[in-house]
Amino acid sequence: MTFDGPRCETGGALLVAERIKEYHALGIDEFVLSGYPHLEEAYWFGEGVLPRLGAQGLWAHPDGTASAPSAEVPFAS
């Protein structure tokens, strides 16, 4: 496989999860993720994308639980 530059996937959690699923089908299993603001994007990904990937068997929490624990952004209301 040749690499022709970085890819940027934007959209809702469902769309991003579907794109990751497509990459996984091609044999890609590691990703470098970035977003801004960083903390909010990390929560967004963890609460929106990871559960969708987990439901399709494409992700499991490292401690072996079926899903990531829910969390609140401490400064968001």
SS (H, E, C) the chain: CCCCCCCCCCCCHHHHHHHHHHHHHCCCCCCCCCCCCHHHHHHHHHHHHHHHHHHCCCCCCCCCCCCCCCCCCCCCC
The structure's pTM equals 0.70
Determine the average pLDDT of the residues in 9-18: 87
* Local confidence band at 71 (pLDDT 50, 70, 90 cut-offs): low
For residues 63 and 41, give the distance between their C-alpha atoms in angstroms, rounded to a whole number. Answer: 22
Check: CB of residue 68 under 8 Å from CB of residue 42. Answer: no
Longest dimension (CA), the chain: 45
pLDDT for 72 equals 63
- Whether residue 52 has pLDDT greater than 60: yes
- Whether residue 66 has pLDDT greater than 70: no
- Whether residue 1 has pLDDT greater than 50: no
